[in-house]
Amino acid sequence: MTLFKAYIKGTGSFFPAKKLTNKDLEKLVDTNDQWIKERTGISSRSIAADNETTSDLAYQASLQAIKSANIKKTDIDFIILATATPDYPMPNTACLVQHKLGIQNCPALDMSAACSGFVYALSVANQFIQTGTYKNILVIGAEVLHNFVNYTDRNTCILFGDGAGATILSRNEQCDDSVNNSINDRGIASHHLGADGSQSDLLEVPAGGSAQVITPEILKNHGHCVVMKGKELFKEAVLSMSQRCTEALEKNNLTNKDIDWVIPHQANTRIINAVAKQLDVPLEKVINEIKNMGNTSAATVPMALDIAVKDGRIKKGHWVLLVAFGSGLTSGSVLLKY
Ligand SMILES: CC(C)(COP(=O)(O)OP(=O)(O)OC[C@H]1O[C@@H](n2cnc3c(N)ncnc32)[C@H](O)[C@@H]1OP(=O)(O)O)[C@@H](O)C(=O)NCCC(=O)NCCS
C-alpha cells in the first residue's frame, strides 16, 4: 500500500487583544514581576474578551492558515480541533469552526489531550493523509483557559493564557513513502505518543464533568479551575518530552545535530531549557515564545510554529521537532520536514 506524505502547507495563529501582564497579576495575588519572569519566563498573556470563545479564536487562526496554504475553504476535507476548553460540552468546537468558515462538506472532531492535544491531533490527521483518505486537514489547537483559572491561586494564575494556532496538513503530491533528501520530501516523518493516567492528579480541573457537576458551592471554591502540583509536573514534563524527542530521533536515524528547530510546549522557560539540555540542542535552535504568550495549553505548539514560520526562522526543508506534554499525563512528539 502506498503511503502518502503529509506536510504542513499553511499556518496561522491568533492572540486576543486583551493582555494580562505580571504587573496586573501583582494586584491580584502575592507575586511579583521578577519572580514570574525568573521562574517561568512569562511577562504577559493574552486573555479573550467576555464575548470571545474558543471557536472564535480558532476561526481567526484557521483563516490565516487557509490563506497561507493558498487553498479554498471548501478544499478542507476534515477539521480536528484540540482543546481542553471547548465552547460547549456539545456540539464540539470543530463543528462550530466549520460553521464559522461557512463550509458544510467535511467531518469535524474535537480532541482532548490537554496540552499535548495539538500533537495528538496532528498525529491523527497524519494517518488520514497517509492512507489517502483525505488531502487537506485543518488541525487546530485553541483555548480560552482564563475561565478555568483561579485568580486567587498564585501557583497557577501566573502561567496560563488564551490563544489559537492552526495548520493545514496536506498530502505531499510530490512524493510517496520513499525517503529522499530533496525538498520534495517535506512532511511528517513519525509521531510518538504517550500517556500515564496514574498521575492525572498532578494537573486537573476537578469539576465540570460527569465525576463532579458544577454547583454554586464548587464555583465559590474554584472547583472548576486548574489545580496543579507544579514541582512534580516540572520533572515529569522534562522527562517525558525528552523521551518523546529521543524516540523520534532514533526512529528516523537522526541525531540532535540534524534537527533545525525544536518547538516544545510553551509551559515554562525552565522546562524548555531543561529539555534542550537533555537533548543537547543549543537554545538558538529552540523556539521559545512564552514571554508574551504564557501557557495556552493545546495552542502553544501551533502558535509558536506560526510565529517562527512567519518571522522566517523556519524554512522549507528544515527538520522540525514538535513536542508537548500535559495533563493526563499525556505527551507526544511529531518530527517533520517543514
Ligand atoms: C509553578 C512553578 C513555576 C513554580 O516554580 P518553582 O520553582 O517550582 O517554585 P516553588 O513551587 O518551589 O516555590 C518556590 C517559592 O516561591 C513561592 N511562590 C510560588 N508561587 C509564587 C508566585 N506566583 N509568586 C511569588 N512566589 C511564589 C512558593 O511559595 C515558594 O516559597 P517558599 O520557598 O517560601 O516556600 C513550576 O513548578 C512550574 O512551572 N511547574 C510546571 C508547571 C506546568 O508546566 N504546568 C503545566 C503543564 S502542561
Q: Give the CATH architecture of domain 5-172.
A: 3-Layer(aba) Sandwich (3.40)
Reported as a pLDDT band with limits 50, 70 and 90, residue 308 is: very high
Sign of the torsion formed by the C-alpha atoms of 248, 174, 132 and 139:
positive
Verify whether residue 295 is a known catalytic residue.
yes
Q: Please report the pLDDT score of residue 179 as a whole number.
A: 47
For residue 313, what are the CA distances in angstroms to 6, 53, 69? 21, 31, 18
Q: Rounded to an integer, what distance in angstroms lies between the CA atom of residue 159 and that of residue 157?
A: 5
**21 near 161, Cβ under 8 Å?**
no
Q: Domain map of the chain by residue range?
A: 5-172, 184-197+226-337
Q: Write out pLDDT tens, residues 30-44.
A: 999 999 999 999 999
pLDDT above 90 (res 153): yes
Q: Please report the pLDDT score of residue 151 as a whole number.
A: 98
Q: Write out pLDDT tens, residues 72-91.
A: 999 999 999 999 999 999 99
Asked whether the domain spanning 184-197+226-337 has the same topology as the one spanning 5-172, the reply is yes
> Residue 41 C-alpha to ligand 1 middle, in angstroms?
12
Q: Rounded to an integer, what distance in angstroms lies between the CA atom of residue 143 and that of residue 145?
A: 6
pLDDT above 60 (res 257): yes
Q: Please report the pLDDT score of residue 64 as a whole number.
A: 98
Report the predicted TM-score, pTM, of the whole model to 2 decimal places.
Answer: 0.96
Q: Rounded to an integer, what distance in angstroms lies between the CA atom of residue 224 and that of residue 213?
A: 9
Q: Any idea which fold 184-197+226-337 has?
A: Peroxisomal Thiolase; Chain A, domain 1 (3.40.47)
155 lines ligand 1 (CB under 6 A): yes
Burial 198-225 (b: 16+ CB within 10 A, else e): eeeebbebbbbeeeeeeeeebeeebbbb
267 lines ligand 1 (CB under 6 A): yes
> Residue 196 C-alpha to ligand 1 middle, in angstroms?
23
Work out which ligand 1 atom sits closest to the CA atom of 25.
23
Amino acid at 118: F
> Residue 154 C-alpha to ligand 1 middle, in angstroms?
8
Whole-number average pLDDT of the chain: 96
> Residue 306 C-alpha to ligand 1 middle, in angstroms?
29
Q: Please report the pLDDT score of residue 83 as a whole number.
A: 98
> Residue 109 phi/psi, 5° resolution?
-135, 140
Work out which ligand 1 atom sits closest to the CA atom of 326.
48
61 lines ligand 1 (CB under 6 A): no
115 lines ligand 1 (CB under 6 A): yes
Q: Write out pLDDT tens, residues 171-224.
A: 998 754 544 445 568 999 999 999 999 999 999 999 999 999 999 999 999 999
Q: Please report the pLDDT score of residue 3 as a whole number.
A: 86
Which residue puts its alpha carbon closest to atom 38 of ligand 1?
A: 230
pLDDT above 50 (res 234): yes
Burial degree of 33 (CB within 10 A; 0-12, 13-18, 19+) = middle
Q: Please report the pLDDT score of residue 185 as a whole number.
A: 85
Catalytic residue (one of 192, 222, 224, 265): 265
**Start-to-end C-alpha separation, the chain:** 24
* Percentage of the chain modeled with pLDDT above 90: 95
Residue 14 β-bridge partners: 164
What value does the mean pLDDT take over residues 271-292?
98
> Residue 141 phi/psi, 5° resolution?
-120, 125
What is the three-class DSSP state of 297? helix
Which residue puts its alpha carbon closest to atom 12 of ligand 1?
A: 231
